[in-house]
Amino acid sequence: GAGVSQSPSNKVTEKGKDVELRCDPISGHTALYWYRQSLGQGLEFLIYFQGNSAPDKSGLPSDRFSAERTGGSVSTLTIQRTQQEDSAVYLCASSSTGGGDQPQHFGDGTRLSIL
């Protein structure tokens, strides 16, 4: 597609359930990033993929969070045993390479609400 696509756009789930968030980057972009934005806060880095490998996963807040990327394209962020503090907008971005001079382009995000 023309831009970064994320699904679902909204997700409401009960505390303790697992959720999967999907990101489809811009075609040909090798670098993919996950961030989250809590209400009124800045963006918090979660994980970075270059191709299918994740050279930087330093932002994952706990072992309940995991992510994978297959075929150098689609990525899935999984949150197990969700907690209320996981409520946020989860944003995915991609760039053509992982190089320092390449801007990141964002999808519309998934708004996750944990009841």
Q: Give contact residues for other proteins (rule: CB under 8 A).
A: 31, 33, 35, 41-45, 48, 50, 55-56, 58-59, 91, 98-101, 103-109
**What letter would DSSP give residue 81?**
S
Structure tokens at 114: 């944990």
Q: Are residues 16 and 115 in contact, defined by beta-carbon separation less than 8 angstroms?
A: no
Rank residues 9 and 83 by Cβ distance to other proteins and give the closer one.
9
Smallest gap from residue 20 Cβ to other proteins (A) = 20
Cα angle: 77, vertex 79, 82; to 5 degrees:
155
Smallest gap from residue 81 Cβ to other proteins (A) = 26
Smallest gap from residue 75 Cβ to other proteins (A) = 15
Rank residues 1 and 100 by Cβ distance to other proteins and give the closer one.
100
Could you tell me which of 36, 21, 33 has the C-alpha nearest to residue 79? 21
